[in-house]
């Protein structure tokens, strides 16, 4: 399997994570299961690495854009989720619902 990730690869961590995914697949959160299913789908459809290569090209362009921005600025401040922040809760909010769930699941 080919990856173009730069930097150190911890082989012991990789083995432990792979073993955990195989032994306890239902213990993963829904977001992880979704990523794994999408990866399996793309692999089984045999797109011959088309989307992987396309993403690597986009990654290069994105990195160049960040490098250029950092020549002008020391810090880039951006939103962390693609939606507006929730309203500040009342003095006695409920302990269930929107104030206790992660924003990405709402």
pLDDT in tens, 28-84: 888 888 888 888 888 888 788 888 889 889 999 999 999 999 999 999 998 888 788
Is residue 32 one of the residues assigned to a domain?
Answer: yes
Query: In this structure, are residues 103 and 81 in contact, taking their beta carbons and an 8 Å threshold?
Result: yes
Query: In this structure, are residues 102 and 86 in contact, taking their beta carbons and an 8 Å threshold?
Result: no
Q: How many structural domains is the chain composed of?
A: 1
Which of 51, 26, 50 is closest to 36 using CA atoms? 26
- Buried/exposed code over 19-35 (b: 16+ C-beta within 10 A; e: otherwise): eeeeeeeeeeeeeeeee
Residue 16 belongs to what domain range? 11-72
Is residue 66 one of the residues assigned to a domain?
Answer: yes
Is residue 28 one of the residues assigned to a domain?
Answer: yes
Segment 16-29 shows an average pLDDT of 86
Statement: residue 95 has pLDDT above 80: no
Phi and psi at residue 80, to the nearest 5°: -95, -15
Tell how far CA 61 is from the center of its chain: 19
Is residue 52 one of the residues assigned to a domain?
Answer: yes
pTM of the model: 0.45
């Amino acid at each position: 399997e080919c990856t173009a990730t730069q930097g150190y690869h911890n082989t012991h961590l990789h083995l432990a994570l792979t073993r955990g995914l195989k032994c306890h697949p239902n213990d993963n959160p829904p977001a992880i299961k979704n990523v794994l299913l999408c990866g399996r789908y793309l692999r089984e459809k045999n797109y011959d690495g088309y989307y992987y290569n396309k993403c690597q090209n986009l990654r290069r362009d994105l990195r160049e854009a960040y490098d250029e921005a950092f020549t002008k600025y020391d810090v880039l401040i951006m939103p962390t989720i693609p939606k507006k922040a929730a309203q500040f809760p009342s003095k006695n909010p409920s302990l269930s619902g929107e104030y206790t769930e992660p924003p990405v699941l709402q």
